[in-house]
Amino acid sequence: MTTRFAAPTALEDALAILAADAAARPVAGGTDLVVAARQGRKALPESIVAIDRIAELSHAGIEDGDLVLGGLVSHAWLAASPEVGAGWSALADAAAIVGSPATRATGTIGGNLMNASPAAETTGPLIVFGAMATLRAAGGAVRDVPVAELATGPGRTVAAPGELLVRVRVPAGARGRGSAYIRLEYRRAMEIAVVGAAVAVTLDGQGADASVGSARVALTAVAPTIVRAPAAEAALAGARATPEACRAAGSAAAAAASPIDDVRASADYRRAMLEVVVARTAAAAIARARGESVPVPASRWAHGREI
């Protein structure tokens, strides 16, 4: 049972509480926390530090071309932002399909990352963009951690006791980059990814002769953490930007993966669907890199599409 509750409005006050109280846990939107408690899967923390009133954690904007997000930036903001949709489309795709409208309005980018779920929607896009998370502790201690290295397992991160994720910096993309995030979904709302893929590509050349100059692929819900897929990246990089290259990337990802097996899907089913999802996501990323219109979220565009 929760016995202590604090709602500081200054970041340093929140960090001081986290440093002094070993049982204290920061809570922003609390969307995962409340659901888990109501379902009896996980008790509420003994001590809660509500950080939703700390204004400086809500900042979002473009700085020197990079996208800079405070830990309290909501999924709804990410999904609706023209800047995110234009420059970091995969992140907009992911944010647009998180939970329900209420979840997207309340849930935050910091919470999604620090919850460290292998099915977290926004983590894959941030990984392919090379994003960095800033962790801060009382006394001014600050360190930057690549988002790709933040989670160590389901529900676990590299954050030390007392550290709080305060910012995510997402580098600007090269000219000609396109990106997308697509998940396999049984329904169109309140879904958790069975398999998901984030792909970012840059193209060399134009039209039918264009080739993939570089590619990054991250896989969601196939391992204890969200992981890169180097075999799929190698299948795309240097290849002509064709449906055949997308299918080759899907095959490479499936062949190299060791998917998890749980109550939501078997490992064999995940492997089979991974091949399809990666191919469709690569196709969406390439289409965007070419300047074609692929609406957000790309999952809707890709539904039932043959690649």
pLDDT tens per residue across span 103-115: 899 999 999 999 9
Q: Does 64 map to a domain?
A: yes
pLDDT higher than threshold 90 for residue 301? no
**In what order do the strands lie in the sheet containing 164-170?**
60-63, 66-70, 164-170, 132-136, 142-146
Return d(Cα 238, Cα 215) in angstroms, integer.
9
pLDDT at 207 (0 to 100): 82
pLDDT of residue 259: 83
Residue 307 located in a structural domain = no
pLDDT above 90 covers a percentage of the chain that reads: 78
Contact assessment for residue 286 and residue 201, using Cβ atoms and an 8 Å cutoff: yes
Same domain, 37 and 64: no
Same domain, 75 and 43: no
- Residue carrying structure tokens 């998940």: 183
CB atoms within 10 A of CB 160: 10
- Token code pair at residue 148: 């790709």
pLDDT of residue 193: 75
Q: Domains in the chain: how many in total?
A: 3
In terms of domains, do 81 and 29 share one? no
Residue 183 lies in a domain: yes
Q: Which of 152, 170, 188 is the last residue of a domain?
A: 170
Mean pLDDT of all residues in 74-84: 97
Nearest CA-CA partner of 307 in 281, 280, 271, 272: 280
Segment 107-145, tens digit of pLDDT: 999 999 999 999 999 999 999 999 999 999 999 999 999
pLDDT at 291: 94
Average predicted confidence (pLDDT) for the chain: 92
Same domain, 76 and 34: no
Beta-bridge partner residues of 67: 62, 170
Q: What is the pLDDT of residue 34?
A: 63
The reported pLDDT for the residue numbered 202 is: 97
Q: Residue range 293-299: average pLDDT?
A: 94
Point out the domain boundary residue: 170, 196, 214. 170
Can you give the residue range of the structural domain that contains 23? 4-50
